[in-house]
Amino acid sequence: MAERLPNLRRDWRLDFVVVNGENATGGRGLSPEHAKGILEAGADVITLGDHAFDQKEMMRFCETEPRIIRPLNYSKSAPGTGARVFEATRGRKVLVAQVLGQVFMSRPYDDPFSALDPVLRAHPPGGAVAASLIDIHCEATSEKMGVGHYCDGRASVVVGTHTHVPTADVQILPRGTAFQSDAGMCGDYDSVIGMQKDEPLRRFVTGMPGGRFTPAMQEVTLAGLYVETDDRTGLATRVEMVRQGGRLSQCGPAAATAGQ
Ligand SMILES: [Fe+2]
């Protein structure tokens, strides 16, 4: 991220960058130090996830750093906020919100749809916010697609996170919302979702742990989603998958038109 994002911001003339950072600290949560590194690399906002507070210092840090967004439906007593309007280039307002799904998740989180509804109602496309991004953080692609269609025409972008593997369903939904079931991880894809493959393989094959999970730290691919939106309608006009560096086949907006 630190190596590539500054150049991508310049070359693709990015107005606003959202990074899911929930496991940037050795695969377990996000420390304030690493959050600061991601922000310094050029992220405007960092979203978290089910591992939001695996690094305990994040509980305090997310109260003091407004550019951190935790899931709206994490718990009623969670510190921080799940949705906020930010300012992008040329004074344009951008809403960012995150929700957790319920299917196959480790805890029974509240319904993401009813958590999102008041936020979407408060910030309709074509109103005060020029664009809006909803991060649906969950396991099941079905639930992610459900959230995408629920938000279709009500948000500029719905993008999934959590599963670490980019999905090939990048599209603009019928009512104008850019969508991808999962943005994928920024990490080493010669791994089992970012961890060195030996220990996960041992557990799969034998059913028994033999050691700790250790992050894989070789060739890194930056994976994500590039979206262009219309400031007047708040809807997407172009969407492209992004895979830069590392082992995955490369893609991105070859001729970006953002900022024109
Ligand atoms: Fe997660």
Tokens at residue 83, please?
């949705």
Integer Cα distance of 231 and 21 in angstroms: 27
> Collapsing DSSP states into helix, strand and coil, what is residue 224?
strand
pLDDT mean for each 10 residues of the chain (260 residues): 94 97 95 98 98 98 98 96 96 97 95 98 97 98 98 98 98 98 98 97 96 95 98 98 96 68
CB–CB of 74/62 below 8 Å? no
Contact 178, 157 (CB under 8 A): yes
Give the pLDDT score at 260.
Answer: 42
For ligand 1, an ion, list residues with CB under 5 A.
Answer: 49-50, 162
Ligand 1 center–CA 55 separation, angstroms: 13
Compute the distance between CA of residue 94 and CA of residue 86 in angstroms, rounded to an integer: 5
- Give the Cβ contact number of residue 107 at 10 Å: 9
pTM of this prediction exceeds 0.85: yes
* Ligand 1 midpoint to CA 138 (Å): 7
149 catalytic? Reply is no
Amino acid at 244: Q
The answer to whether the beta carbons of residues 145 and 28 sit under 8 Å apart is no
Residue with tokens 């830069």: 244
**245 by DSSP, 3-state: which?**
coil
CA of 116 to the centre of ligand 1 (A): 18
H-assigned helices in 93-137? 112-122
* Interatomic CA distance for residues 74 and 112, integer angstroms: 10
- Residue type for 138, please? C
Chain mean position to CA 29: 14
In the reported structure, the alpha carbon of residue 20 is separated from the centroid of ligand 1 by a whole-number distance in angstroms of 9
Which pLDDT value is given to residue 73?
Answer: 97
- φ/ψ of residue 204, rounded to 5: -65, -45
Q: What's the token pair of residue 175?
A: 């009512």
- How far does residue 212's CA lie from ligand 1's centre (Å)? 19
Paired with 223 in beta bridges are 243
The predicted structure's pLDDT at residue 255: 60
Residue 249 Cα to ligand 1 midpoint, Å, equals: 24
Give me the amino acid identity at 161: T
Selected catalytic residue, list 34, 51, 162, 164: 51
Q: How many Å lie between the centroid of ligand 1 and the Cα of residue 16? A: 22
